[in-house]
Structure 1
Amino acid sequence: MFGLSGVGRSHRGRAANRLTVLVSIAAFVVPLSGCGAVTAGESDTVRVYTGRHYDLEQAFEDFSEETGISVEFLSGSDAELRERIAAEGEDTQADVYMTVDAGNLWKAEQDGLLTPLDSARLEEGVPEGLRDPEGHWYGLSMRARTVMYNPDEVDPGEFSAEDTYAQLAESAWKGRLCMRNSTNSYTQSLVASLIDNHGERRAREIVGGWVDNDVEIINNDVRILENVDAGTCDVAITNHYYLARLLADDGDLSVRPFWANQDGRGTHVNISGAGVLAEADHPELGRELIEWLATTGQNSFVDGNHEYPVNPEVDPEPIIAEFGEFDYEPIEAEAYGSLNSRAVRLMNEVGYE
């Protein structure tokens, strides 16, 4: 189980340019320019530009089977797809923009790319802290970026429960840290949240402290966790679901999560989320897809990647349910988006690679 910090709700715990078309449970690939060749009626098709490229097929197949609406989706990075939508303007072929970062959803809303939805199902299914107050976008799954440690090398009592991320800048952790590279969006959002919460001067001290502690930078969360397991580093910061993936294959892995900041603002989280485009040809189908993903289809959408459901009525899958309860820091989409460039500059200036 895990609790929700700052949102007034409790939650029961438990790339490339191609278009994949799912019609009911059949899947095939066509180029984006070949949309006219799709066999399903165009009026029965919802099109998604998505930065979330993993574990979509099952959810979209389930949605198609249940509703009779086919789904076409184009995968790419959040920023690239947002720029594509802006360039296409009223000629965009997409109905829905889906991302893996709240900051990109905020930027899409700020750029006027999204239309607000009036949906009782979404207001009921997605807590206030995980959606845009005006309904332009909604969270669909949640990932926690927290501290991971090797229990053979670290007593969890060594961690500060008030400000765990900042504590890793202390000299006691010198030579013991592994972290993700600065170009990774997860790292950028974490540092943006540090700037938002602590101010730029203190955030610079924290990130500079990680560098002074000879942090080993690795460009893959799975490799980071494998290094923790091997004892190459004692402590790391990764997304929770990478640990769940590894535990699914090896239950004896010597890595445990420590929920950061439980006596403070809560663990840093981000979301996969979506909104309907202002220039969508089929906004009603886009709304229906997002509603389904946030309610009936939550398990189809989140379980395969071990993400947390946003819907408080849906239990997480068993592996992450075993991680226990935690409070999370409220999503600050505006901070993740507006402070991104400052976070990148700060990391560059202190030598965080």
Structure 2
Amino acid sequence: MKFKKFLKPLLASALLTIGLVGCGTNEATEEPQQKEQETEQKASENQVVNVFTARHYEVDNELFKMFTEETGIQVNVVQGKAEELIERLKREGESTQADLFITVDGGVLANAKQNDVLQPVNSDVINENVPEQFRDVDNYWIGMATRARIIAYAKDRVTPDQLSTYEDLATDKWAGKIAVRSSTSLYNQSLLASFIELNGEEAAEKWAAGIVKNFARQPDGGDRDQAKAIVAGTGDIAIMNTYYVGLLANSEDPEERKVAEQIGVFFPNQETTGTHVNISGIGLTKHSKNKENAIKLIEYITSVEAQEFLSANNFEFPVNPNAKKPELLESWGEFKMQELNFDTLGEHNQKAIEIFNKVGWK
């Protein structure tokens, strides 16, 4: 009896000890596991980059997918007009979720910088990928592609030796023969802004008035429509961007491919100021929450692989000099570009609009 009385408390004590040790072991094991899971979840949530873009091209979406496949970083995209996206960045301030701002036109990129919604990008990789001429002087934006505004001509009625400069298009020689889109087009506004910078306001106004006088019809439609118009016999030449020629030539629509076959591409002002070139670019937002991922995306887009994919599918010129151009772009040869700071396109934009209104370029 005495032995049993002694044994019961001993067994109880042993069981209690085992229980406590068991509980302690589970807590020690579960706590690191829980912390590891939380860390993994947090890391997963941070593997994103949020993009505000005014470029509405399918090729960009494909590039984002390729980037995600390579890095695991998800790209979330908000599309809109450049001016609206800049205003949204200003309005949202520190609360914005946007990490990158992408748009066409050097003047718009300069506007974003002036509105204090961007911050400088510091990356040796980007600096190696993109020459200085295609980057903001303070690296507030980085170029991703360029396009030239050229003279397209109907091959059956015009020969290259009849073409020379933008200025020549404003002479009586081309009366009733020029197709071009509206003055509301940013492409035309930046073209005229470049003339204001290079030649002065008076010469720019004279040129614009001469083009209006030589209209084959009132401006209508986009750049592709101008090419279709001259092939249809409404005018002989068109002012348009190079990448539209590439899109026509590689269209799924056989009629558009026929249009591309019947037009030639001429780069004006090769003996003077050079052909007007504009840029698409990327800026890192001032209040980016995923800065490291955002810079990785810029590095990727400016890499040789991405630049070649972009050029082969959207027919823009790559900014990375090591990227190969598609056969069509190679067939046009090298050309002299205007030498000016892309910021000036924004500086002269309002004056360009005023001139267009004054000369009746609708």
Q: Same fold (TM over 0.5)?
A: yes
- Which one has the bigger strand percentage? 1
Distance 1:247 1:146 in 2: 16
**Paired position in structure 1 for 2:271:** 263
Distance 1:321 1:174 in 2: 32
Identity of aligned residues (%): 38
Distance 1:340 1:229 in 2: 31
TM-aligned CA distance change 1:263 to 1:281, over 3 Å:
same
- For residue 211 of structure 2, what is the amino acid of its counterpart? W
**Paired position in structure 1 for 2:170:** 169
**Paired position in structure 2 for 1:184:** 185
Report the alpha carbon displacement of residue 219 of structure 1 after superposing the two structures with TM: 2.5
Distance 1:182 1:226 in 2: 19
The alignment yields a C-alpha RMSD, in angstroms, of 1.6
- Which one has the bigger helix percentage? 2
TM-aligned CA distance change 1:344 to 1:42, over 3 Å:
farther
Residues 216 and 234, structure 2, Cα contact 8 Å, conserved in 1: no
**Paired position in structure 2 for 1:139:** 143
Say whether 1:294 aligns with 2:299. Answer: no
Residues 179 and 215, structure 2, Cα contact 8 Å, conserved in 1: no
Report the alpha carbon displacement of residue 113 of structure 1 after superposing the two structures with TM: 1.1
Unaligned 5+ runs, structure 2: 1-41, 252-256
SS in 1 for 2:170: coil
Distance 1:320 1:310 in 2: 14
1:250-275: CA deviations, max 9, x gaps? 26621010011111121111111101
1:83-107: CA deviations, max 9, x gaps? 1111111111100000011111111
Which one has a bigger Cα radius of gyration? 2
Report the alpha carbon displacement of residue 72 of structure 1 after superposing the two structures with TM: 0.5
Among residues 330, 340, 349, which one is paired with 2:349 in the alignment? 340
Distance 1:324 1:86 in 2: 42
1:194-236: CA deviations, max 9, x gaps? 1111110110000001112235312211111011222211011
- For residue 318 of structure 2, what is the amino acid of its counterpart? P
Distance 2:354 2:44 in 1: 48
Q: Alignment length, in residue pairs?
A: 312
Distance 1:159 1:199 in 2: 23
Unaligned 5+ runs, structure 1: 1-38
Report the alpha carbon displacement of residue 40 of structure 1 after superposing the two structures with TM: 9.4
Distance 1:255 1:332 in 2: 31
- For residue 195 of structure 1, what is the amino acid of its counterpart? I
TM superposition score normalised by structure 1: 0.85
**Paired position in structure 1 for 2:248:** 246
> What is the 5 A alignment of 1:1-353?
41-54=44-57, 55-160=59-164, 164-216=165-217, 217-249=219-251, 250=257, 253-295=261-303, 296-353=305-362
Residues 129 and 331, structure 1, Cα contact 8 Å, conserved in 2: no
Residues 58 and 300, structure 1, Cα contact 8 Å, conserved in 2: no
Residues 63 and 292, structure 1, Cα contact 8 Å, conserved in 2: yes
- For residue 171 of structure 1, what is the amino acid of its counterpart? D
- For residue 173 of structure 2, what is the amino acid of its counterpart? A
- For residue 235 of structure 1, what is the amino acid of its counterpart? I
Distance 2:339 2:132 in 1: 10
TM superposition score normalised by structure 2: 0.83
